[in-house]
Chain A
Amino acid sequence: MENSNVFTLAGVSYVIQNTPILTGITLDIRSGEHWALMGPSGAGKSTLLRLFNSLISPTSGAIRFHGQPLESTDVGRLRKRVGMLFQEAVLVNGSVRDNLTLPRQWVRPVPEYAEEQLTEALERVGLTPGHLTTQARSLSGGEKQRVALARVLLNEPEVLLLDEPTASLDPPLARKILRLIADLQRELNLTVIRVSHHPDLVRSFAGQVLFLDKGRIVEQGPIVLLDQPRTQDFSRFLREAQA
């Protein structure tokens, strides 16, 4: 069963300019799980997320990816296998097609995408092939986020890191995108690690929850923790988030 762990974190700490941001994070993430990272602003959620695809490295402690130390993986390949969506979708200037085919330019020789791969990727996130020629900057916030999702999925990741990609969207649209991600997760057997502030959105889609405060894990476990928090901090956080 050891092998079904996608990520294993053992005593991971991250310190920046002598300030501890994350302290003693120990955590197992298994294949196909959907984790919700919760916690007050500044708790270190984004920082934790960035550790998973080596956008930053831990100051101490060890992260393993499929049992292999993260530091010894090829970082380019790792980042393709562990895709990330940010709070604000960042698209480059140019058309939607330019954005979707962006990661191709970094591979030599430049691989050819079959046209249907692009249209399929767009349809998967609820856009139409007609969007391929649209200028990225003329898209709405929700459409941008979908294009970013389609772009990440074209890398065929096995893990998806989501840093509140729906925070800037209105609730119905946010729910729609999260449903999409939940469907994709089942379809592609993705492991999802997602930062979220909304207990409702966590309850609907996540299977596991982790509550972070001041850089430390306060609670972690199955989603039922949302209804039976073991600590005062978490229950207060949930009460305030609900209100």
Chain B
Amino acid sequence: MTQSFYSLSWTDVFASMVLVLFSIGLLRWWKIGLEKTLIIGTLRTFVQLSAMGYILTYFFGQRHWLFMVGLVSLMILVASYEGYRRQKTALHIPHYFIIITGVLTLTVILVLGSVLTFILHVQPWYYPYAMIPIAGMIIGNALNTTSLTVNRFVGELEHREAEIDMLLSLGAPPRAAIHDAIRESVKAALLPTVNSMMMVGLVQLPGVMTGQILSGIDPLIAVRYQIMIMYMWVTASTMTNILVLALVYRQFFTPRQQLRCDLLRRS
């Protein structure tokens, strides 16, 4: 099974670059002006993924649980920082960095934990071949959707300021006053993931699965993994989104249940 159907050597990989050369030719011909960026992208894909391969090989050689936990923690911290930086408005949300770090940690513990123990029955649980890629997938996806949700949420608050004031003035608790804003932002962030669950397998195979099948894995096995990954994915995104907003919205209210306008508009 580990024997590749079509063994892909480094020379073959270089050969696949010819495909990109062809695109570059087309771009030049029509003077699109994207050639330089595409060349850089091509090189970066090569360098980053090759480096990742070597790094993974190194990590897969490690067999200590503390090392694995440290690595996953580092991944969470880097992702949180990236999420924090990427936020147009986040710098104004108090405790934002702590919120995403905390929520990502919790999501990883719960989702990764249950996948490793109850679903894949990995022995030992810190076996790097399972832990690293799954953790990466959970963290990366959760981070992407969370950035979307929080940006959208702040936009909704700005847009709905009058409505929120109206609801508060009628005696609504903050949570009820921003409920629609939360609903809209979570929906908007999760919709692409949920839609991809609707479409998966109909037209296009997920990239990971294509790679697996090409390297000789039985499609039925590849499919099972993909199904599990999709479920894991949507759960991790839902969890992070809702938990992050549940903590973020509180930052927009004073203890007297007043909307903090000073956090809005400034963005």
Chain A residues engaging chain B, CB cutoff 8 angstroms: 16-17, 53-57, 71, 75-77, 79-80, 83-84, 86, 88, 90, 92, 102-103, 105-106, 148, 151-152, 155
Check if B262 sits within 8 Å of A55, measured CB to CB.
no
Q: How many residue pairs, one in A and one in B, have C-beta atoms under 8 Å apart?
A: 57
**A155 touching B165 in the complex, CB below 8 Å, given contacts A55-B258, A56-B258, A71-B256:** no
Query: What distance in Å separates the Cβ of A57 from its nearest Cβ neighbour in chain B?
Result: 6
Give Cα A143–Cα B19 distance, bound, in whole angstroms: 65
Residues of B contacting A53 in the complex (Cβ-Cβ under 8 angstroms):
169
Give Cα A133–Cα B75 distance, bound, in whole angstroms: 53
Give Cα A27–Cα B70 distance, bound, in whole angstroms: 62
Check if B262 sits within 8 Å of A79, measured CB to CB.
no
Give Cα A71–Cα B256 distance, bound, in whole angstroms: 8
Check if A103 sits within 8 Å of B256, measured CB to CB.
no
Check if A54 sits within 8 Å of B258, measured CB to CB.
yes
Chain B residues engaging chain A, CB cutoff 8 angstroms: 162-163, 165-173, 176, 180, 254, 256-259, 262
Query: What distance in Å separates the Cβ of A167 from its nearest Cβ neighbour in chain B?
Result: 14
Residue of B nearest to A87 (CB): B162
Check if A16 sits within 8 Å of B262, measured CB to CB.
yes
Check if B168 sits within 8 Å of A86, measured CB to CB.
no
Residue of A nearest to B180 (CB): A92
Residue of A nearest to B166 (CB): A90
Residue among A16, A57, A90, A92 with the highest chain B CB neighbour number at 10 A? A90
Check if B168 sits within 8 Å of A80, measured CB to CB.
no
Give Cα A83–Cα B105 distance, bound, in whole angstroms: 43
Residues of B contacting A55 in the complex (Cβ-Cβ under 8 angstroms):
165, 168-169, 258-259
Residues of B contacting A88 in the complex (Cβ-Cβ under 8 angstroms):
162
